[in-house]
Amino acid sequence: MSVPLYQAKAELFRTLGHPVRIRVLELLQDGPKPVRDLLATIDVEASNLSQQLAVLRRAGLVTSYRDGPLVMYALSTPDVADLLAAGRRILGAVLTDRDGLLDELRADGRDR
């Protein structure tokens, strides 16, 4: 029996509901990155990053492959970057009462 579309969408958004996962996806927008580069940028333990990458892989949002000794991660589709951009636009539209966050959104151009 297949899962209803609304349920699949809810699961996708649950997957996106973790700050480390969002940060990983943001970093991968510029192209594939090895785990060591992700670790150097994201302030988490290696085991935590590994768990979050596994969640993103199972959800089909990222792919991984070996490049010599390095494990590389990449967005599975450019649509993931489009989704992050849509989230930024939505936040810009609804956060009119939170000036600090809105200023950061305007100044940065990309999520942090």
Encode pLDDT of 53-84 as tens digits: 999 999 999 999 999 999 999 999 999 999 99
Mean pLDDT by 10 residues, the chain (112 residues): 90 95 97 97 95 97 96 97 93 73 71 50
Domain ranges of the chain: 1-76, 77-111
The answer to whether the CB of 15 falls within 8 A of the CB of 59 is yes
Question: Helix or strand or coil: residue 98?
Answer: coil
pLDDT at 107: 79
Instruction: Report yes or no: 20 and 48 within 8 Å, Cβ to Cβ.
Output: yes
Enclosing H/E stretch for 101: helix 99-108
State the pLDDT at residue 7. Answer: 94
Residues in CB range of 47: below 8 A, 6 or more apart? none
Tokens of 107: 């100044």
CATH assignment of 1-76, among 2.130.10.10, 3.30.300.30, 1.20.1250.20, 1.10.10.10: 1.10.10.10
